[in-house]
């Protein structure tokens, strides 16, 4: 069996973690700080747990330049998929609460029956959630919003498949997007792991304008490219990401939530009001307010997983004095090496997405050598595995190859893959 040092793992997630982080975590799992108890055994109400959470929040804020006076950082459960639902529940609730504020300004002590009537009218005429669909994960988020609310309240801003012969692989020009007026949220997925598509930059059409009262309420799923490049945090209302790509191990997700969507500025509407107007009441574990109020400790959070995330952040901060900008340079260098090797042999490899939408994190391609794609890809995987290059098989829904170039992949690992790509093409 190969040793850990002999393997470069390109799996899409759970992804590889730095070995020294795992070694530190392994010791802490047995005995944390000389307490005689492992970190998973200490109470989540202990000072140890509080310190681990606060340190991780502060390091994440430092690394990405998140202003904690404006945004709250929440550690949650149910992963990125759980956040598909959470953002719907919370931002629809915020939208309703704002309509309640407006009605209260017009009529003092408005009777509940009249309030319900007005809210139903507003919902029927104005409530919209906007979704920009550029790949499999944004499609799932869009479908979840429809499942929770109903199709009549969900607007498909753009479907990339309509611009690419029925398949994902492009980011359609913003001139084709059909945004709603004053949507309760505008969702996009910054990097699509299945389809190898990444936004090259933040969409200009969604950028906040100074002194505007109608800036879009932007929600970004950054599960697979967070920590790999600078994020224009202030153009977002919510950024969420599962930990298991670049941040740590599966078990926690992070939501960076603008405080204007939290009490006391914007409380969630009372459950009886939501029921009377026909909108869903969120499970309390998906409601941001109690999670924020309790510093992510409303219930028993996996402190061990937060500890691992914190150790990853400390390693990044120690490695890159210029923080995320340093990691971005390495991520781009690695991606250029791998794409360069693939592009050099167009008769052997076909990169799936268009050049303008290529992901730096998930490099999706087909092996078309000798015309027998199935046989060529099986041979590619077999030879790669012998060299310790593993996890290269594409997602089951689309097939092909996928090299996930997350932060834990070293420059040497990317060079090794690029060399194999060239050697295989010429063999």
Find the helix packing angle between 303-319 and 19-30, rounded to 10°. Answer: 140
Question: Do residue 298 and residue 335 come from a single domain?
Answer: no
pLDDT tens sequence across 143-161: 999 999 999 999 999 999 9
Instruction: For residue 2, tell me if it sits in a domain.
Output: no
C-alpha distance across the termini of the chain, in Å: 26
**H or E element that contains 148:** helix 136-149
**H or E element that contains 49:** helix 47-64
Domain that holds residue 336: 321-426
Give the pLDDT score at 209. 87
pLDDT tens sequence across 157-183: 999 999 999 999 999 999 999 999 999
Instruction: For residue 193, tell me if it sits in a domain.
Output: yes
Rounded to 5°, angle at Cα 236 from 51 and 320: 55
pLDDT tens sequence across 369-416: 988 999 999 999 999 999 999 999 999 999 999 999 999 999 999 999
pLDDT tens sequence across 287-316: 999 999 999 999 999 999 999 999 999 999
Of the candidates 257, 277, 306, which is a domain's last residue?
Answer: 306
pLDDT of 212 higher than 80: no
Of the candidates 253, 277, 306, which is a domain's last residue?
Answer: 306
Residue 119 burial (C-beta neighbours within 10 Å; 0-12, 13-18, 19+): buried
Question: Do residue 242 and residue 390 come from a single domain?
Answer: no
pLDDT of 13 higher than 80: yes
pLDDT of 213 higher than 90: no
> Any idea which residue has 């224009």 for tokens?
232
| In contact, 385 and 424? CB cutoff 8 Å | no
- Residues 6 or more apart from 314 whose CB is under 8 A from it? 59
Distance of CA 160 to the CA centre of its chain: 19
Closest CA to 197 of 13, 11, 358: 358
CATH number for the domain including 381?
Answer: 3.90.1150.10
Give how many domains the chain has, as a whole number: 2
- Residues 6 or more apart from 206 whose CB is under 8 A from it? 186, 188, 216, 218, 235
Question: Do residue 297 and residue 374 come from a single domain?
Answer: no
pLDDT tens sequence across 62-117: 999 999 999 999 999 999 999 999 999 999 999 999 999 999 888 888 999 999 99
Give the pLDDT score at 214. 81
265-304 b/e with 16+ CB inside 10 Å = b? ebebbeeebbebbebebbeeebbbbebbeebbbbeebbbb
User: What DSSP state is assigned to residue 283?
Assistant: P
């Amino acid at each position: 069996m190969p040793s850990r040092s002999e393997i470069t793992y390109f799996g899409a997630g759970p992804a590889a973690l730095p070995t020294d982080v795992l070694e530190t975590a392994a010791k802490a799992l047995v005995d944390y700080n000389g307490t005689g108890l492992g970190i998973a055994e200490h109470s989540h109400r202990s000072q140890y747990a509080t310190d681990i959470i606060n340190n991780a929040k502060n390091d994440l804020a430092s690394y990405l330049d998140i202003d904690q006076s404006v945004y709250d950082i929440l550690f949650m459960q149910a992963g990125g998929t759980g956040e598909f639902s959470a953002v719907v529940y919370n931002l629809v609730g915020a939208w309703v609460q704002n309509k309640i504020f407006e009605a209260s300004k017009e009529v003092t002590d408005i009777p509940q029956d009249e309030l319900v009537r007005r809210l139903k009218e507003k919902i029927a005429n104005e409530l919209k959630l906007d979704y920009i669909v550029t790949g499999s994960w944004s499609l799932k988020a869009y479908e979840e919003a429809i499942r929770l609310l109903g199709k009549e309240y969900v607007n498909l801003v753009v479907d990339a498949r309509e611009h690419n012969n029925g398949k994902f692989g492009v980011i359609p020009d913003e001139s084709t997007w059909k945004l709603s007026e004053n949507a309760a949220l505008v969702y996009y997925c910054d990097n699509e792991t299945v389809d190898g598509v990444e936004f090259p930059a933040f969409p200009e059409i969604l950028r906040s304008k100074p002194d505007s009262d109608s800036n879009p309420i932007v929600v970004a799923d950054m599960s697979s490219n967070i920590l790999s490049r600078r994020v224009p945090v202030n153009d977002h209302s919510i950024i969420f990401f599962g930990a298991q790509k670049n941040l740590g191990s599966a078990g926690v997700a992070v939501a960076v939530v603008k405080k204007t969507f939290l009490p006391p500025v914007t409380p969630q509407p009372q459950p009886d009001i939501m029921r009377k107007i026909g909108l869903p009441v969120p499970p309390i574990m998906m409601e941001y307010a109690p999670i924020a109020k309790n510093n992510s400790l409303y219930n028993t959070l996996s402190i061990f997983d937060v500890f691992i995330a914190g150790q990853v952040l400390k390693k990044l901060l120690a490695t890159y004095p210029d923080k995320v900008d340093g990691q971005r340079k390495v991520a781009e260098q690695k991606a250029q090496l791998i794409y360069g090797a693939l592009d050099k042999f167009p008769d052997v490899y076909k990169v799936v997405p268009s050049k303008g939408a290529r992901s730096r994190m998930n490099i999706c391609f087909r092996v078309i050598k000798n015309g027998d794609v199935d046989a060529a890809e099986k041979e590619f995987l077999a030879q790669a595995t012998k060299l310790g290059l593993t996890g290269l098989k594409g997602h089951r829904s689309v097939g092909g190859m996928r090299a996930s170039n997350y932060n834990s992949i070293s420059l040497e690992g990317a060079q090794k893959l690029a060399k194999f790509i060239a050697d295989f093409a010429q063999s």
